[in-house]
Structure 1
Amino acid sequence: MKQILILILFFCSFTVNAQLTPVNKKLLLTMEDSLNLYSKKMVMAQDPSTRFYADSVFIKKFVQALKVPGSFEYAFDSVKTVSKLYAPDSLFRIYTWEIQKDESYFRQFGAIQMHTTDGSLKLFPLFDQSDYASIPTDSVRTNRNWIGAIYYQVVMKEFNGKKYYTLIGLDDNDFTSTRKWIEVLYFDANGQPVFGGDFFTYRNEDNKPEQPVARFCLEFKKDAKARLNYDKQLDIITFDHLVSETANDNSKYNLIPDGDYEGFKWSNGKWVHVSKIFAEQKLKDGEAPVPVPFRDDDGNPLN
């Protein structure tokens, strides 16, 4: 009975330490004021050197804040220039942001904060190596050679008992084009983050990329406002079908949406390409539209 009581007391204290205490919350609130100041400077300062200096100060102060026990639960609501996304199962929280040097140069920064039972910090910094990737879609990567993006959605899927986290994000890229990304993140047997892999299936050769893809990129004309989002109700990733606005040039900076939508549907551990999501339906008088079953490009139903 004494041993059981000791175990109960141990786990109770363990749980209390994992929570964000009022004292630590007050401390983080104070630290957040400084984070907010530097996060604004790293985006809004007129001089690029000031922006990058503010970013370096922000990173140091942010890591200090994350070291406060229970910081995983703290919202950092006022730091609006940083994307803060929880995994659906709360395994981790991913932070991403972007610094602009000039109209032709953007760099992303980020970190993955893992949930820990004792509230201590376990952090994986993300190092953007996009500048050194001639084909950024072609390789599996780690947090140290990450293809940068500001993530705005995270979707969790499971296959054969393993969890996969699909990250959807934005890269302002340069003055001619914008990129949006679909990146699959998972954790290996040692708990290390892995970005990318054999997760995208194309059944129609007309839509299949020339190079194998470890991640999906939608690149389009600057300010064309192409959509790429996960639709929870449909359980599908949808994105604009792009066409060139000029007859003779299919360069990425000429691609714009044409009103049709493509997508990816999760099936058997893969994101399976769907070439046309919203198929046209001819309705008789009095009929209501009904969802069209999702099929791959061979016409097979996707469960």
Structure 2
Amino acid sequence: MRKVFWCCLIVAIPFFGKAQTPQPEIENLETIQTLEDTLAILSFAMVNDSTPVKRFASCQKFIKTLVQALKNENSFYYPFERIRTVSIIYPPDSTFRIFSWQLYVDINEYHYYGTIQMNEPELKMYPLIDRSGQVSNPESAILKKDNWYGALYYNVLPFPDSSGQYLLFGYDAFEFFNKRKFVDVLSFKTGEPVFGAPVFEKEVKKDETKIVDRFVLEYGSDAKVKLNYDKSLNMIVFDHLVLMASPYPDQDFMNVPDGDIDGMYYEDKIWKFKPRIYDQILEEPPRPAPVLDDNKKDIFGKDQKN
């Protein structure tokens, strides 16, 4: 069954500092609003058109139209709220924003598109080229904008030590039986974005860990898995996964949550692994569940709209 991860992507609204700070005037506001109407139609077609060829054609038109809109002075301050199938996220300091979206090709293939727009009056952006199919081990790869590990991003936060590095949380539809969520590192070196850094401590097996450049959770496509930052705990928190037999004849095993929650806390420039930060008592054994189920929440944890 085709599953496209688009039910209700919420466009994140930027934080622009203190309330008394005036927002710069956006050049050609009416032109951008007209272009947004076109972008809204194209973004819907990227997801819902009937064939890969039509979806790809809509995607190419979307890219050209988006660039046209962003070329207007101070376009960074325009939120593009009507584009529902594209994620737009900002860090708390609003120094940049990231557009990312997904193109469904077939049940085992998804392409990702994205761009980073810097918070400057004149357009400064970094288009991201998805080369995830060429990354054999995503946990051990430092990547740049032209060999990006493509994803649909849902959160971005600065490191606690103000080092200029950012945590970047993403979703990868990957393949029919397995999906991925991961937390990456974004930094800017010599003016260019760099993805990945050896800062995550990952459990390999009980009482054994290793340092990885990118922390990846791969799980059965019917499972619901959490991976995000918890401000109340000052930790990255995620479901503890266990291997279980798959109910599908074409798949032997799959990873699913077992009810425990693991975490990572920041210390000595490393996100250090902490097992089972608190336990959840399951009312029933682990079982497949839709990625977006009856709790009516989307990937960003927001209420879905009908």
Letter of the 1:246 counterpart: A
Cα RMSD of the aligned pairs, angstroms, is 2.4
Gaps of 5+ in 1: 1-14, 281-303
Kindly report which structure 2 residues correspond to 1:157-172, keeping only aligned pairs within 5 A, or say none.
157-159=159-161, 162-172=163-173
- Note if 1:129 corresponds to 2:131: yes
* Structure with more helix by fraction: 1
Alpha carbons of 1:230 and 1:36: their partners in 2 closer, same or farther (altered >3 Å)?
same
Letter of the 2:245 counterpart: T
Q: Among residues 140, 150, 161, which one is paired with 1:138 in the alignment?
A: 140
Q: Among residues 107, 114, 123, which one is paired with 1:110 in the alignment?
A: 114
- Preserved CA contact (<8 Å) 1:20 1:71: no
How high is the sequence identity, in percent, across the aligned residues?
A: 38
* Structure with more strand by fraction: 2
Letter of the 2:262 counterpart: E
Partner of residue 227, structure 2: 228
- Preserved CA contact (<8 Å) 1:44 1:51: yes
Give the Cα separation in 1 of the matches to 2:207 and 2:89: 31
- Note if 1:64 corresponds to 2:64: no
- Preserved CA contact (<8 Å) 2:115 2:127: yes
Alpha carbons of 1:268 and 1:32: their partners in 2 closer, same or farther (altered >3 Å)?
same
Gaps of 5+ in 2: 1-20, 281-306
* Total equivalences in the alignment: 257
Letter of the 1:137 counterpart: E
- Note if 1:77 corresponds to 2:85: no
- Preserved CA contact (<8 Å) 2:243 2:256: yes
| 1:169 match: secondary structure | strand
Shift of 1:238: 0.9
Shift of 1:235: 1.5
Partner of residue 246, structure 1: 245
Letter of the 2:256 counterpart: I
Partner of residue 215, structure 2: 216
Alpha carbons of 1:134 and 1:246: their partners in 2 closer, same or farther (altered >3 Å)?
same
Partner of residue 37, structure 2: 33
Alpha carbons of 1:233 and 1:82: their partners in 2 closer, same or farther (altered >3 Å)?
same
Alpha carbons of 1:252 and 1:202: their partners in 2 closer, same or farther (altered >3 Å)?
farther
Letter of the 1:182 counterpart: V
Partner of residue 283, structure 1: none
Q: Please identify the structure whose Cα radius of gyration is greater.
A: 1
- Preserved CA contact (<8 Å) 1:84 1:96: yes
- Note if 1:270 corresponds to 2:270: yes
Report the TM-score when normalising by structure 2: 0.78
Letter of the 1:243 counterpart: V
Partner of residue 20, structure 1: 25
1:121-142 CA-to-partner distances (Å, cap 9, x unmatched) read 0000111111111112211111
Partner of residue 186, structure 1: 187
Give the Cα separation in 1 of the matches to 2:252 and 2:188: 33
- Preserved CA contact (<8 Å) 2:202 2:212: no
